[in-house]
Amino acid sequence: MPWWGWMIFGAFLLGAELLGVDAAFYLIFIGFAAIVTGLLELGGVQMPLWMEWLVFAVLAITFMVMFRRRLYTKFRGVGTDYKQGPEGRILRMTTALDPGDTGRMEHRGTTWTVINRGGSTIAEGDDVEIVRVEGTTLIVATATENDQ
């Protein structure tokens, strides 16, 4: 392929990633590898067609392995502040629960077993905090007890 063919191919891949296709920065490095291959051809490095494709593939893989994660993290960030599970959420109780008692309540479209781990009775309509989850059981306490 002539040098300008590699440049057009690379520019097309870069443009696709930047303008519409969210490929998680993979197309950027494949496009960059195509442009570098075109620059090698332009610089006078004469290669047979199979060697051009091999150089292109090796460059694309090398760029992705060496730089993609760092660049992706820098531009997109890492989602470390996402909560995993319902711990810490506040619920409004639909039934009264004495300390240590078990009940059932609906939360996020399903019915859960709820255990009052606090030292006081939870009245119907009280707000409680999910302290932890054990399987399909929510361990709850009133927000004031959980702060202590």
Per-residue pLDDT of the chain (148 residues; tens, 9 = 90+): 899 999 999 999 988 888 877 777 788 889 999 999 999 999 988 899 999 999 999 999 999 899 888 887 887 766 666 566 778 888 888 888 888 888 888 888 888 889 888 888 888 888 888 888 888 888 888 876 655 4
CA dist 22 and 121 (Å) reads 52
**Alpha-carbon distance 131 to 128, whole Å?**
9
The amino acid at 101: D
Tens of pLDDT, residues 92-115 = 888 888 888 888 888 888 888 898
- Please tell me the predicted confidence (pLDDT) of residue 74: 80
The residue whose two tokens read 């590898």 is: 33
The strand pairing partners of 140, in sequence order, are 116, 130
pLDDT digits (tens, 9 = 90+) for 40-49: 999 988 899 9
pLDDT at position 147 is 53
**Strand pairing class (110-116; 137-142):** parallel
Q: How many CB atoms lie within 10 A of CB 119?
A: 11
**Orientation of helix 26-42 relative to helix 3-19, angle to 10°:** 160
What is the structure's pLDDT at 145?
61
Residue owning tokens 């502040």: 81
Amino acid present at 45: V
Greatest alpha-carbon span in the chain: 83
* Prediction pTM value: 0.51
* Domain architecture of the chain: domains with CATH: 3-76 (no CATH), 90-147 (2.40.50.140)
The beta strands (E) that lie in the chain are given as 90-92, 102-107, 110-116, 127-134, 137-142
